[in-house]
């Protein structure tokens, strides 16, 4: 069984956003004042488990748990444990801001997770606080350490912004090298309306960052060896294990090889990061006529609504009003 969209792309990777809440307020991700979802609108752990099972039955081999911050939701570990039991699932991953990893890293590993993404936009405590509005960088460092001690493979994620942290990119790469981690740099996407900065003014292209890094490191282009490489293009630092990834929604459109869909905390199946095309799965999950077959059918039919590509416009009002914490990055 496979999920195939109307452009012939196979969807084998699903991200589940288990909450829109977070203990940080990154300036590119959320507005300062946010209204969060009432709890009864958010899918239960059982409902997320049913969804995970349905997707795996339909040929999905990789699930990523994200948010919001997944580790602020009680029940995320239980969900990981449930999904970790699905024998046809090849990869169970997590994206986190790292602040709760000292508490949960071992449980995450024991649930069957091998690789996690940790967001890290600066190594400077003051800047980190500014970027996250009140975050404590030491908590993230402690989280990275806990994940390393638990034996989890880590990729750092950094949203590069021209006037906030672009000058720190070489230091962030050096940190990744010293710690033996991978790192990806992401071009900011115009999701939701924020007031701190204009998205266009902060734009810095992946190519700009890569040529800056090429002055200090010999970077070897990698074939998209990973089946799941998706939008990331990777370079290996010569002589090291560290890979540097670039996710470039503006400068290098990656839609042709898109293999993923997302489910929001309310059970909306989002077919594209940069479009509003979606299908309500919660209605099906909560229907008195619920059946696994009907749920699977809804998912299969939804693939026909997956758009060909995204169109992001940095210079005008964002066309996508949902923030990344709702989207499930």
Q: Which among 80-88, 128-136, 168-176, 185-193 is the span making contact with ligand SAM, rule CB under 6 A?
A: 185-193
Q: What is the DSSP letter of 43?
A: P
Task: Choose the one of ligand SF4, ligand SAM, none that binds residue 157, judging by a C-beta under 5 to 8 angstroms depending on kind.
Answer: ligand SAM
Q: For residues 221 and 211, give the distance between their C-alpha atoms in angstroms, rounded to a whole number.
A: 13
Task: Choose the one of ligand SF4, ligand SAM, none that binds residue 122, judging by a C-beta under 5 to 8 angstroms depending on kind.
Answer: none
What is the radius of gyration, based on Cα positions, of the chain?
Answer: 19
- For residue 180, the tally of other CB atoms under 10 A from its CB is 12
Task: Choose the one of ligand SF4, ligand SAM, none that binds residue 25, judging by a C-beta under 5 to 8 angstroms depending on kind.
Answer: ligand SF4
Is 159 a binder of ligand SAM (CB under 6 A)?
Answer: yes
By 3-state DSSP, what share of the chain in percent is helix, strand and coil, each rounded to 5?
35, 20, 50
List, in order, residues 6 or more apart from 280 with CB less than 8 Å away. 267, 268, 269
Task: Choose the one of ligand SF4, ligand SAM, none that binds residue 264, judging by a C-beta under 5 to 8 angstroms depending on kind.
Answer: none
155-170 as b/e, with b when 16 or more CB fall inside 10 Å? bbbbbbbbebbbebbe
Phi-psi category of 296—alpha, beta or left, where left has phi over 0 and alpha has psi -120 to 50? Answer: alpha
- For residue 309, the tally of other CB atoms under 10 A from its CB is 13
Phi-psi category of 52—alpha, beta or left, where left has phi over 0 and alpha has psi -120 to 50? Answer: alpha
Encoded tokens for 57: 């039955």
At 131, give phi and psi (nearest 5°): -70, -30
Encoded tokens for 319: 């066309």
Shortest Å, Cβ 66 to ligand SAM: 5
Is 97 a binder of ligand SF4 (CB under 6 A)?
Answer: yes
Nearer to ligand SAM, 159 or 213 (CB): 159
Q: Which of 188, 217, 234, 279 binds ligand SAM (CB under 6 A)?
A: 188
Q: Which of 119, 248, 259, 278 binds ligand SAM (CB under 6 A)?
A: 119
Residue with tokens 């026909």: 304
Nearer to ligand SAM, 58 or 190 (CB): 190
Is 143 a binder of ligand SAM (CB under 6 A)?
Answer: no
Nearer to ligand SAM, 184 or 284 (CB): 184
Is 26 a binder of ligand SF4 (CB under 6 A)?
Answer: yes
Helix (H) / strand (E) element for 1: namely none
At 78, give phi and psi (nearest 5°): -60, -40
Q: Which among 20-28, 31-39, 180-188, 211-219 is the span making contact with ligand SF4, rule CB under 6 A?
A: 20-28
Q: Which of 19, 49, 50, 66 binds ligand SAM (CB under 6 A)?
A: 66
Nearer to ligand SF4, 68 or 267 (CB): 68
Question: Rule CB under 6 A: which of 117-136 touch ligand SF4?
Answer: 119
- Lay out the site mask for ligand SAM across 24-53 (x = CB under 6 A, - = otherwise): ----xx------------------------
Question: Beta strand 232-237 with 10-11: parallel, antiparallel or unpaired?
Answer: unpaired
Shortest Å, Cβ 76 to ligand SF4: 13
Q: Which of 82, 95, 206, 248 binds ligand SAM (CB under 6 A)?
A: 95
For the chain, the first-to-last Cα distance in angstroms comes to 26
What does the binding site for ligand SF4 look like in residue numbers (CB under 6 A)? 22, 24-26, 29-30, 67-69, 97, 119, 324-325
């Amino acid at each position: 069984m496979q999920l195939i969209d109307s452009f012939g792309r196979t969807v084998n990777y699903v991200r589940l956003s288990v909450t829109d809440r977070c203990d940080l307020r990154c300036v590119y991700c959320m507005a300062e004042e946010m209204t969060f979802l009432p709890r009864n609108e958010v899918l239960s752990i059982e409902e997320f488990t049913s969804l995970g099972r349905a997707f795996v039955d339909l040929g999905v081999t990789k699930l990523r748990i994200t948010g919001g911050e997944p580790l602020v939701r009680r029940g995320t570990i239980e969900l990981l444990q449930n999904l970790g039991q699905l024998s046809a699932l090849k990869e169970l991953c997590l994206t986190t801001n790292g602040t709760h990893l000292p508490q949960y890293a071992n449980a995450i590993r024991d649930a069957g997770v091998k690789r996690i993404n940790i967001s890290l936009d600066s190594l400077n405590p003051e800047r980190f606080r500014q970027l996250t509005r009140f975050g404590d960088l030491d908590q993230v460092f402690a989280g990275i350490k806990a994940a390393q001690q638990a034996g989890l493979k880590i990729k750092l994620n950094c949203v590069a912004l021209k006037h906030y942290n672009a000058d720190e990119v070489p230091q962030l790469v050096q940190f990744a090298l010293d710690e033996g981690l991978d790192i990806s740099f992401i071009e900011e996407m115009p999701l939701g309306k924020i007031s701190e900065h204009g998205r266009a003014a902060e734009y810095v292209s992946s190519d700009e960052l890569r040529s800056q890094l090429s002055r200090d490191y010999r970077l070897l282009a990698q074939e998209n060896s990973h089946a799941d490489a998706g939008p990331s293009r990777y370079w290996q630092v010569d002589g090291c294990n560290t890979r540097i990834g670039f996710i470039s929604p503006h400068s290098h459109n990656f839609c042709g090889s898109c293999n993923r869909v997302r489910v929001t905390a309310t059970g909306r199946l989002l077919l594209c990061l940069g479009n509003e095309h979606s299908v309500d799965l919660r209605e099906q999950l909560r229907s008195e006529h619920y059946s696994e077959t009907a749920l699977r059918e809804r998912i299969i039919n939804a693939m026909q609504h997956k758009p060909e590509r995204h169109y992001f416009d940095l210079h005008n009002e964002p066309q996508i009003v949902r923030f990344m914490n709702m989207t499930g990055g």
